[in-house]
Amino acid sequence: MRRCAAILLAAVLLCRVTSAEAAEKGQILRAGDLLAQPFIDAAKAGPVTANQPVTILERRGAWASVESNGTKGWVRLLNLRLEAGAARPGASRPGMASLRTGSSGRTATTGIKGMDEEDIRNATPDYQELELLGTLAVTADDARATAQKAALKENTVAYLDKGRSRK
Partner 1 sequence: MIARSILRAALAAALVSLPGMAQAQFPNIGGLVKGVQNVKKLGDSLRKIPEPEEIKIGGDLASIILGAAPLVQDAEKQRYVNRVGRWLAMHSDRPDLPWQFGIVETDDVNAFSMPGGYVLISRGMFDQMRNEAELAGVLAHEIAHVAKKDHLGALQGSLRNAALGDFTEYVGGNGGIGGAFKAALISAGKDMFTRGLNHDDEYDADRMGVVIAARSGYSPYGLVGVLQTLSAAPEEKGYALMNKTHPLPVDRIERLDRAMGTKFDTVIAVVEDLPSFVALRAAPAPAAAKSTPARAPARSRPRRRN
* Segment 116 to 155, residues that bind partner 1, using CB under 8 A: 116-117, 119-130, 132-140, 142-144, 146-147, 150, 152-155
Total residues in contact with partner 1, by rule CB under 8 A: 86
- Region 4-33 residues binding partner 1, contact defined as CB under 8 A: 9, 12-13, 16-17, 20-21
Nearer to partner 1, 70 or 139 (CB): 139
Of these, 22, 37, 71, 114, which contacts partner 1 (CB under 8 A)?
A: 114
> Binders of partner 1 among 93-112, rule CB under 8 A?
93-98, 100, 105-106, 108, 110-112
Written as one string, the DSSP assignment of the chain is: -HHHHHHHHHHHHHHHHHHHHHSEEEEESS-EEEESSSSTTSPEEEEE-TT-EEEEEEEETTEEEEEETTEEEEEEGGGEEEPTT-PPTTSPPS--GGG--STT-----TT-----HHHHHTPPP-HHHHHHHHHH---HHHHHHHHHHTT------PPP-------
Q: Does 165 bind partner 1 (CB under 8 A)?
A: yes
CB nearer to partner 1: pick between 15 and 49: 15
Q: Please report, as residue ranges, which positions from 51 to 70 form the binding site for partner 1 (by CB under 8 A).
A: 59-62
Whichever of 3 and 166 has its CB closer to partner 1, that residue is 166
